[in-house]
Amino acid sequence: MDTKEQKEGLAQQAPGTAGSGLTHFDASGQAHMVDVGAKDETHRVAVATGRIGMKAETLAIVLSGTAKKGDVLGIARIAAIMAAKKTSDLIPLCHPLALTRVNVEFEPDEASSSILCTAQVETRGKTGVEMEALTAVQIGLLTIYDMCKAVDRGMRITDVQVLEKRGGKSGDWNAAVAP
């Protein structure tokens, strides 16, 4: 087994990885799952958001509950929650996590004819939940698209981003105050 100093020395020699801050590559530049075994378990929270724009008529169908496939926002909420729980099955180097909370909210905006999706994901663990929050948002919005595409194929998913993360060694981060 290599010592910590040997691994750090190899990392400095690995092409394209030295000083990059990219943690999903080993010392020889090969992709790997990050070892989080030595990290402390802390309360981890991530909030992500995204928007789907659509025709005003499509938004009216969603809000009235008359979509042919059913309750669009209710089904999208369940899909988003399920997606957060399955993130490690979808993104190869994500750790499987025992999530303690997934909250998904949809906020219709008639002025812009869009729906904002916000997902807050929490765990008590050794790694963050940003990917789970982002996955929840994307799948929630894709579900809206799927359920409404028969009447509006021009919908646009935009502005998907992490708004904040809390917990862990790197501390808290908030997009509103990030440099």
Give the span between the Cα atoms of 45 and 124, in whole angstroms: 9
Instruction: State yes or no: is 26 an active-site residue.
Output: no
Q: How far is CA 69 from the centre of its chain?
A: 26
Give the span between the Cα atoms of 5 and 155, in whole angstroms: 52
Neighbours of 164 (CB within 10 A): 19
The single residue of 35, 40, 71, 146 carrying the catalytic annotation is 146
Catalytic residue numbers read: 146
